[in-house]
Amino acid sequence: MSARRPYVRPMAGWWRRNPWFVEYMVHEATALAVVAYALILLAGLFRLGQGEAAWAQWRAFLASPLSLALHGVLLLAFAYHAWTWFRIMPRTLPPIRFRGTRVTAATITGIGLVATLVASALVYVVVARLAA
């Protein structure tokens, strides 16, 4: 009697076969930008704890062309991550009704983006006033 070999489904590149999965994987990959920026902020806190000279060196690094380019890339990754997050949100929420009618996915995405922009502007204003 011959033993049958079990079927092994090929897993290499499974996410590249469906555009939705490609978008999802790119969205998840942009979370690495969040980790990178968190590490930059943690390094700043560490340098702040080391004293004024270390803090000044870290701030000088932030003003370097390399750092500015890195922050530009991180900003684009954050923007894409936020955009895809708010595009996915209507699919993950239960149906929302307002005055008897169902709220559309575009409305939910738009409200999320506007709320993010307003919150970001408020944080900017508060930090700018504290820095002055």
* Calpha distance 87→80 (Å, rounded): 10
Q: What pLDDT is stored for residue 2 in this prediction?
A: 66
Instruction: Locate 43 and state its tokens.
Output: 């390094």
- Residue 99: strand, helix, or coil: coil
List, for residues 49-100, the tens digit of each pLDDT value.
999 999 999 999 999 999 999 999 999 999 999 888 898 889 888 988 999 9
pLDDT band per the 50, 70, 90 thresholds, residue 9: confident
Question: Which residue would you say has higher pLDDT here, 47 or 85?
Answer: 47
Note the pTM of the prediction, 2 decimals. Answer: 0.72
Residue pair 84/23 in contact by the 8 Å Cβ criterion: yes
H/E element, 101: strand 101-102
Beta bridge partners of 101: 98
pLDDT band per the 50, 70, 90 thresholds, residue 46: very high
Stretch 39-49: mean pLDDT: 95
Residue pair 80/31 in contact by the 8 Å Cβ criterion: no
Stretch 29-51: mean pLDDT: 94
H/E element, 50: helix 31-50
The domains of the chain, with CATH numbers, are 14-131 (1.20.1300.10)
Q: What pLDDT is stored for residue 18 in this prediction?
A: 84
List, for residues 110-127, the tens digit of each pLDDT value.
999 999 999 999 999 999
Is the per-residue pLDDT at 7 higher than 70? yes
Give the residue ranges of DSSP H helices in the chain.
Answer: 19-29, 31-50, 52-62, 65-92, 105-131
Residue pair 89/108 in contact by the 8 Å Cβ criterion: yes
* Calpha distance 107→85 (Å, rounded): 14
